[in-house]
């Protein structure tokens, strides 16, 4: 039975004391950064961390700087007791749950901008988002100093941004992606799925099917621009409201592809709204055999 009372660090000093003790004993440490509201996707990352390191730290921090005014920072679900029990059950050794004041004390003014892979897709749709992510992840990695840090492929662009960040700033950590976990109808697990009404939830379940269909068409040799247009039409007619993007991009650097048949590994990315809920997803595309 996992210990239901997961130890928690609230400050950088407490976190470093715990991690230093492990490191001093020659143990490897994994960090799984989260914003809480945990689901099976997060827990699978904790288990992946446990398979790569002796100890897993999961952070829960709803980072205000990656939300724009009018986004759901205030509404974002928070239930630490529930999250802590789930983390303990998945084999997590330490919860790191700092306050906003611990992360951003008075006078804080620094920002990390990854450029490049952070600029298309969600970088266009949410212009301040990835600088907020890159800055807080830099801090979390330097506060914890793990051997490995794990991020979900559901936020695939974020994973690429953080890989680039770690490489560019020489952060001494290995960045690993964990596969997207999906519900029975294929909907990518997301804390934001909790916002959906029953009818919205039904519509949401069609998003992954549109991506899968598009990926199959691309693998069969269809042209990028027509596949994007068809996927967009399918998503709109399924009942989504505004669609921020449906785009096929290179899997390594998110470079623009097409308009013809694919010639290198790619992924199709979507961001679309149902009511006030914004969902994102992505799907790998196999290059057609030529």
Residues tagged active-site: 42
Contacts for 111 with CB less than 8 Å, ≥ 6 apart: 131, 135
Residues 31, 149 contacting (CB under 8 angstroms)? yes
Nearer to a second copy, 8 or 169 (CB): 169
Nearest Cα to Cα of residue 119 among 259, 263, 255, 262? 255
Q: For 251, what's the count of Cα atoms within 13 Å in the CB-facing half-sphere?
A: 14
Closest approach of a second copy to the CB of residue 152, in Å: 22
Taking residue 9's Cβ as centre, other Cβ atoms within 10 Å add up to 21
The residue among 116 and 261 lying less far from a second copy, judged by its C-beta, is: 116
- Closest contact distance (angstroms) between CB of 96 and a second copy is 12
CB 125 within 8 A of CB 275: no
Residues 136 and 163: their CA atoms lie apart, in Å, by 14
Instruction: Please check whether residue 268 is in contact with residue 211, taking contact to mean a CB–CB distance below 8 angstroms.
Output: yes
Shortest Å, Cβ 106 to a second copy: 11
Q: Over the Cα atoms of the chain, what is R_g? A: 19
**Nearest Cα to 86, choosing from 130, 107, 56?**
56
CB of 244 to a second copy, least distance (A): 22
Q: Which is nearer to a second copy, 166 or 217 (CB)?
A: 166
User: What is the rounded distance in angstroms from the CA atom of residue 122 to the CA atom of residue 6?
Assistant: 34
Closer residue to a second copy (CB): 75 or 124: 124
Kindly list the residues in this chain that would bind a second copy in the complex (CB under 8 A): 12, 16, 107-117, 134-135, 138-139, 142-143, 145, 164-165, 167-172, 253
Least distance in angstroms from the C-beta of 104 to a second copy: 9
Of the pair 225, 252, the CB lying nearest a second copy is at 252
Residue 279 token pair: 């969902």
């Amino acid at each position: 039975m996992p210990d239901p009372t997961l130890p928690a660090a609230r400050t950088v000093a407490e976190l470093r004391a715990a991690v230093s003790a492990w490191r001093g004993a020659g143990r490897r440490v994994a960090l799984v950064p989260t914003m809480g509201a945990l689901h099976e996707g997060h827990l699978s990352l904790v288990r992946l961390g446990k398979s790569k390191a002796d100890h897993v730290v999961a952070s829960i921090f709803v980072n205000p700087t990656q939300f724009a005014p009018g986004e759901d920072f205030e509404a974002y679900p928070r239930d630490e007791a529930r999250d802590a029990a789930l983390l303990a059950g998945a084999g997590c050794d330490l919860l790191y749950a700092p306050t906003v004041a611990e992360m951003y004390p008075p006078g804080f003014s620094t920002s990390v901008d990854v450029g490049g892979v952070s600029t298309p897709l969600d970088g266009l749709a949410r212009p301040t988002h990835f600088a907020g992510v890159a800055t807080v992840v830099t801090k979390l990695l330097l506060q914890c100093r793990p051997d490995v840090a794990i991020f979900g492929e559901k936020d695939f662009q974020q994973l690429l941004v953080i890989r680039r960040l770690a490489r560019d700033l020489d952060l001494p950590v290995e960045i690993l992606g964990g596969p997207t976990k999906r519900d029975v109808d294929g909907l990518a697990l997301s804390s934001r799925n909790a916002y959906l009404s029953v009818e919205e939830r039904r519509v949401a379940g069609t998003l992954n099917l549109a991506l899968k269909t598009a990926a199959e068409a691309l693998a069969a040799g269809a042209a990028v621009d027509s596949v994007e247009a068809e996927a967009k039409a399918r998503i709109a007619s399924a009942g989504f409201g505004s669609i921020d993007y449906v785009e096929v991009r290179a899997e390594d650097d998110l470079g623009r592809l097409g308009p013809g048949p694919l010639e290198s590994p790619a992924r199709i990315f979507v961001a679309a709204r149902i009511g006030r809920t914004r969902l994102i997803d992505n799907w790998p595309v196999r290059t057609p055999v030529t």
